[in-house]
């Protein structure tokens, strides 16, 4: 079975541009999480979904960030407009055991905003 799939793996964009990150969770998993990892702040939870419904978006930094999960097999994280401080590695993870049990992480998307 394929693991969590993320695309693109690397994204370089200029400040002010819109960025869309994509995630396909493991089939059958009903929880999906978006995290951001930086050297300064470590790994931060941005938002998570249960059965395609956003449960907790308190970690979303500001209105420039939005996330959607239109169906059980696809989610997007959008940044519009992007800023250099958004540069980070963004991970998607999924789980079938709830929000506080084992999570399966994707390989991440390394975002660089110039």
Partner 1 sequence: SQQGEEDPQALSIQEGENATMNCSYKTSINNLQWYRQNSGRGLVHLILIRSNEREKHSGRLRVTLDTSKKSSSLLITASRAADTASYFCATALGDSGAGSYQLTFGKGTKLSVIP
Task: Give me the residues that bind partner 1 (CB under 8 A), please.
Answer: 4, 42-43, 45, 48, 55-56, 58, 91, 93, 98-108
DSSP state of 85: G
Residue 87 tokens read as 């540069």
Name which of 16 and 98 has its Cβ closer to partner 1: 98
Residue closer to partner 1, measured from CB, 82 or 103: 103
User: Which residue, among 90, 80, 74, 82, has the nearest Cα to 8 in the 3D structure?
Assistant: 90
Name residue, tokens 């970690």.
Answer: 59
CB 61 within 8 A of CB 80: no
CB of 16 to partner 1, least distance (A): 28
Pick 62 or 100: Cβ nearer partner 1: 100
Q: Token pair 């993870």 is at which residue?
A: 93
Shortest Cβ 111–partner 1 spacing (Å): 14
Q: Which residue has the tokens 């399966």?
A: 104
In the complex, what is the shortest distance from the CB of residue 105 to partner 1, in angstroms, rounded to a whole number? 3
Smallest gap from residue 68 Cβ to partner 1 (A)? 19
């Amino acid at each position: 079975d394929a693991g969590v799939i993320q695309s693109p793996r690397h994204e370089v964009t200029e400040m002010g541009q819109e960025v869309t990150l994509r995630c396909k969770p493991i089939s059958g998993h009903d929880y999906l999480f978006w995290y951001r990892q930086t050297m300064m702040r470590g790994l931060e939870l941005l938002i998570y979904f249960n059965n395609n419904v956003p449960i907790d978006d308190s970690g979303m930094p500001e209105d420039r960030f939005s996330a959607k999960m239109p169906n059980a097999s696809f989610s997007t994280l959008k940044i519009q407009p992007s800023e250099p401080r958004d540069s980070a590695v963004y991970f998607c993870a999924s789980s079938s055991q709830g929000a506080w049990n084992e999570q399966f992480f994707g390989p991440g998307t390394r975002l660089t905003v110039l």
